[in-house]
Each structure stands twice: as C-alpha cells, then as structure tokens.
Structure 1
Amino acid sequence: MTGTLRAELITTDRLTLEPLGVHHAAEMAQVLAGTAIYRYIGGQAPTAEILAARYAAQTVGTSADRREVWLNWIIREQGRSIGFVQATVELEGPTSDVAWVVGEAFQGRGAATEAARAMVAWLRRRHPPVRITASIHPENLPSAAVARNLGLTPTGRLDADGEEQWEDSTPPTT
C-alpha cells in the first residue's frame, strides 16, 4: 500500500488541493506569517527555510517504520495558497488523523471545511475503510466547527499537548 497511497490533486468547486512540495515553502511562509493561528496549535510563524526543511521531511511520505503514510496538500483558492490540510494514515489500521490550517487572512469563509471535506472524501475512496480522527484544542471553536462539519465528535480524551481527540461519530464499516 505504501507505494500506492500518495497525495493527488483534488479539486472542489472553488479550491484546489495541491500535493505538498518543498517549492511551496516561500509562499506558505507568507500565508502562515500571522500570530493568531498559533494560539491553539502552538509554535510560531515559520520562516521559508524552516518550512523547506519541514516539507522535505514530510514529502518523504512515510514514517521510518513504514507503518504510516504522510499526506499533505496546499489549499489554493483562485491560484493563491491559503493554507494546508494533512492526513497521517495508518497503513495496517483503519485510522487517518487529519488536520487543517488556513492563514488568518483567509479564515471565516468555509475554506477549511471545504478542503478538509474533500481530503476526507479522497481518503475514503483511496484507503477504505477509513476512521477519521483529529486533535483540537478545547478552546479552538472554529476548528471544532470544521470537525463537526466532517462528522467528528469530541471524545473528552486529551492528548499530551492538551488537545481533545475527535473521531467519527459513525465510522465506516468493513
């Protein structure tokens, strides 16, 4: 499965999800330059150099033990990068842990929901059955709304970073 599960171009009515490449680093450094988006996800705005190194590692595509596949997409709207979505897929299990980040200037217009929904639909077609999970800071209400729009529900369990685990309310059956 490792060789066959790779990010592919995904389109919606208004967005394009473009598979991540190192060449996206400079453009994404500008998208991720705000400070408010780090309130709940931690960290700080990365430089283009930091993103290039991160993207080089992510585009390897698998964990060292080859049990996970890393899928990453840049969200584009009218040709302009506005954020990213990603999935960590267990190859021997049914779980895909998903995440989304939209730059501050592009938030509040449904782009995160639209992009995440397209990614989840793609995952379910390419690696069924897929159980979707996400980790969301309990105070991150916009991200919680995206999760709810994906059909995820909070579990009440917090991870080591203090983020609540969300999962499919009705996971797909085999």
Structure 2
Amino acid sequence: MTGMLRAKLITTDRYTLEPLGVHHAAEMTKVLAGTAIYKYIGGQAPTAQELANRYAAQSVGSSPDGRETWLNWIIREQDRSIGFVQATVEADGPTSDIAWVVGEAFQGRGAATEAARAMVTWLRRRQPPVRITASIHPENTASSSVARHLGLTPSGHFDADGEELWDDAPAAD
C-alpha cells in the first residue's frame, strides 16, 4: 500500500505545499542558490538542469525496488517558492524519514516548522507511520529546533555522514 501513497496539495495558515514537479526546478534554483544552506547538509547549489534531473527522478514517487515511497513538496508563500519538505516512507516499517530546506532569504520565520508539521500531520492521516525520523548535523541548531517542535528527540545514534538520528519514538528506560 505504501507505493500507492502520493503527495497531495497541503495548505497551512501561511503556506501551500505543492507536490514537487520538474516545472519547479527553475524557480527553486534561485531559492537554493545560497551557500549557507549547504554548511550542514553538504553539497552545493544545484544548476537548473541538475534540479530538473533530480525532480524528474523524485517525481516518479518510489524507489525502483518499491521499498520506499518518495513524497516531496515545494513550500510556497503566496506566489513564490521558498523551500521544500520531503518524506521517504519505508514500505516494510513504515518509518517516514523527513527533511526540510528553506532558502536563506526565508529562514528564521518558522516556515520549516510549519511546513514540516503539516507534512507530518498529512502523513499520519494517510498511513500512520510507526516512526518519524530525521537526520540532523549536531551543529545545525536551526534544524534541531524544527525537530524539537515536531516532537522529535536526538537518539545518540549517528550515520556515516556524522548526522544524528532524531525520532519520535519514546526513550528507552
């Protein structure tokens, strides 16, 4: 059933979360053009063609083996894109690993928290995941704050990139 899950339009008080499409690439190139965004997530600002290729692959909606469903939304504020949120839902869990990125010019106003919260609420209404997770660099205080607002806590476990796994599972005694 996980493979049937598709991103749908989500609205919040201030934002619209539009399902990702290749047509978003040109506008998102400008949103993702800053350098500070990549301090903790790595990489560099993508070109329009790189984004178009990435969005074409992500828009398929699932991994080739069907083990993951890919859900991606562009965060829109009025008539402009300001960032994105995404969820990778495991077919055999399910666990939803979530992420968010807001362009430098739009940070510090709660956009990531509001958009990610709306996405998590939407996910739970469609297919309640056993667990919500996010991987966050230990020095990324802004993303740590978003995660805390979503009810996630650091697990003390780190991936190969040095990011800590945050989740909403209750702490073991």
Within 1, Cα distance between the matches of 2:169 and 2:69?
24
Alignment RMSD (CA, Å): 1.2
CA shift in 2, pair 1:3/1:129, >3 Å: closer
SS of 2:54's equivalent?
A: helix
Q: CA deviation at 1:128?
A: 1.3
Preserved CA contact (<8 Å) 1:123 1:130:
no
Could you list the per-position Cα deviations for residues 123-159 of structure 1 after superposition, in whole angstroms to 9, with x for gaps in the alignment?
0001114410000000000000000000000011110
SS of 2:4's equivalent?
A: coil
Which TM-score applies when normalising by structure 1? Answer: 0.95
Preserved CA contact (<8 Å) 1:132 1:167:
yes
Within 1, Cα distance between the matches of 2:166 and 2:119?
17
Could you list the per-position Cα deviations for residues 24-50 of structure 1 after superposition, in whole angstroms to 9, with x for gaps in the alignment?
000000000000000000000001000
Could you list the per-position Cα deviations for residues 70-101 of structure 1 after superposition, in whole angstroms to 9, with x for gaps in the alignment?
00000001121000000000122120000000
Preserved CA contact (<8 Å) 2:3 2:62:
no
Within 2, Cα distance between the matches of 1:143 and 1:65?
30
Segments of 5+ residues of structure 2 without an aligned counterpart are none
Aligned to 1:36: 36
Within 1, Cα distance between the matches of 2:89 and 2:48?
26
Preserved CA contact (<8 Å) 1:22 1:55:
yes
Alignment of 1:17-96 (within 5 A): 17-96=17-96
Which TM-score applies when normalising by structure 2? Answer: 0.96
Number of residue equivalences? 171
Within 2, Cα distance between the matches of 1:139 and 1:3?
34
Letter in 2 for 1:33: A
Q: CA deviation at 1:3?
A: 5.0
SS of 1:14's equivalent?
A: coil
1:8 and 2:18 correspond: no
Alignment of 1:159-170 (within 5 A): 159-170=159-170
Preserved CA contact (<8 Å) 2:112 2:146:
yes
Give me the identity figure in percent.
81
Within 2, Cα distance between the matches of 1:124 and 1:45?
32
Within 1, Cα distance between the matches of 2:162 and 2:75?
27
Aligned to 1:101: 101
Within 2, Cα distance between the matches of 1:3 and 1:67?
8
Preserved CA contact (<8 Å) 2:3 2:68:
no
SS of 1:132's equivalent?
A: strand
Segments of 5+ residues of structure 1 without an aligned counterpart are none
